[in-house]
Amino acid sequence: MEPQSSGILLLVAAALFSIGLAVVLTKRHAVVVLMGIELMLNAVNLNLVAFSQYDPDRLQGQLFSLFVIVVAAAEAAVALSMIIQVYRHFRTVRLDELTDLQQ
Amino acid sequence: MIQIAFFSFVALTLASAVGLLLTRNVLYAAYLLLLTLLGVAALFVFAGADFLAVSQLVVYVGGVLVLVLFGVMLTNKPASAIPDSTPVSERSNRILTENRRPWIAVLLAGGLFWGLSRLLINAHFVVFDRPVSTTSTTIDVIGKQLMTEYVLPFEIISILLLVALVGAGYLAKHKQ
């Protein structure tokens, strides 16, 4: 790829991160907030990969984003099981209604 | 030709991400997240990361997205406004999410994007002047690196994944 497309990848990653931040701040459904977090993690991966193509011998960026993908998968599994437990307890996953720390 | 494909995948990624922000239906949001992840996988291919693109497809589209859909389905409370006399097949089954203070969030995210884009446009990365790698595949290097330089992080991350998945299964089970 031409060098200028790396700059475009960085801009796309910045836009994806901002959209993910807006999703996390705006939406009130716990699962949608999780989707916003996944979007932000993907933007970070895109940044790492964009810089990693200039490092073909060691590929540190790609390996780091591989680890990020694994951590994101683990985080999604734990977060969804917690959301299911919260739903069993409070019968809702709307974040505005979850105001009790203990019940 | 490659440029057209690249920009169409950029447009697909950004458009579906914006749609994820705008839609109120949680299931539509999940499917738009699927499109975004596919677009990011395609951008990985354009950046020369073929192994990472495949693992993005397998882990995110095959794993995380299915988990998210299960989460949506399992935490769905049917709307109480619908009278019980309506047949099940005719009841609306949309799962909606509210927006809270959208202007603050959009202002914050827009300001962040404005700052980041100004920074990126004005910055001159020395590394971008270097030649781009021309190797056909990255699997060779990734395999060697995982077994030599990154063998300790690899083992730690595998333990972390195992513990997290067992813990998730324990957390999600019914308590007596």
Question: To the nearest whole angstrom, how far is the Cα of B87 from the nearest Cα of chain A?
Answer: 24
What angle is formed at CA A98 by the lines to CA A100 and CA B107, rounded to 5 degrees? 130
pLDDT value of residue B76: 79
pLDDT tens sequence across A26-80: 998 999 999 999 999 999 999 999 998 888 888 899 999 999 999 999 999 999 9
Q: Is residue A99 part of a domain?
A: no
The count of domains in chain A is 1
What angle is formed at CA A54 by the lines to CA A51 and CA A55, rounded to 5 degrees? 95
Provide the mean pLDDT of chain B.
87
pLDDT value of residue B42: 94
Please name the residues in contact with A30: beta carbons below 8 A apart, sequence gap of 6 or more: A83, A86, A93, A94, A95, B75
Q: What percent of chain B has pLDDT over 70?
A: 89
Domain span at A42: 4-90
- The encoded tokens of residue B41 equal 């996988």
pLDDT value of residue B88: 63
Place of tokens 């020395």: B126
Instruction: With a cut of 80, say whether residue A97 has pLDDT above it.
Output: yes
pLDDT value of residue B85: 66
Q: Is residue A54 part of a domain?
A: yes
Instruction: With a cut of 60, say whether residue A1 has pLDDT above it.
Output: no
Indicate the angle between helix axes A60-90 and A30-52, nearest 10 degrees: 180
pLDDT tens sequence across B59-91: 998 889 999 998 888 887 665 555 666 666 666
Residue B94 pLDDT grade (very low, low, confident, very high; cuts 50, 70, 90): confident
Instruction: With a cut of 60, say whether residue A3 has pLDDT above it.
Output: no
Asked if residue A64 lies in contact with residue B142, where contact means CB atoms within 8 angstroms, the answer is no
Looking at per-residue pLDDT, the higher value among A1 and A70 belongs to A70
ipTM: 0.91
Q: Is residue A102 part of a domain?
A: no
What is the distance between the alpha carbons of residues A85 and A100, in angstroms, rounded to a whole number? 14
**Neighbour-count burial of A27, counting CB atoms closer than 10 A to its CB (0-12 exposed, 13-18 middle, 19+ buried):** buried
Q: Is residue A16 part of a domain?
A: yes
pLDDT value of residue B160: 96
Interface test with A, best of B6, B37, B103, B113 (most A CBs within 10 A): B113
pLDDT tens sequence across B23-58: 988 999 999 999 999 999 999 999 888 999 999 999
Question: To the nearest whole angstrom, how far is the Cα of B174 from the nearest Cα of chain A?
Answer: 8
Q: Is residue A100 part of a domain?
A: no
Interface test with B, best of A45, A68, A80, A88 (most B CBs within 10 A): A80
Task: Please report, for the domain that includes residue A39, its CATH number.
Answer: 1.10.287.3510
Residue B101 pLDDT grade (very low, low, confident, very high; cuts 50, 70, 90): confident
Q: Is residue A15 part of a domain?
A: yes
Looking at per-residue pLDDT, the higher value among B102 and B170 belongs to B170
Q: Is residue A101 part of a domain?
A: no
- The encoded tokens of residue B26 equal 């949680």
A93 in helix, strand or coil?
coil
Q: Output the CA torsion sign for B32, B35, B39, B40.
A: positive
pLDDT value of residue B86: 66
**Neighbour-count burial of B41, counting CB atoms closer than 10 A to its CB (0-12 exposed, 13-18 middle, 19+ buried):** buried
Asked if residue B128 lies in contact with residue A54, where contact means CB atoms within 8 angstroms, the answer is yes
The shortest CB-CB distance from A22 to any of B2, B106, B120 is to B106
Q: Is residue A73 part of a domain?
A: yes
What is the distance between the alpha carbons of residues A69 and B83, in angstroms, rounded to a whole number? 44
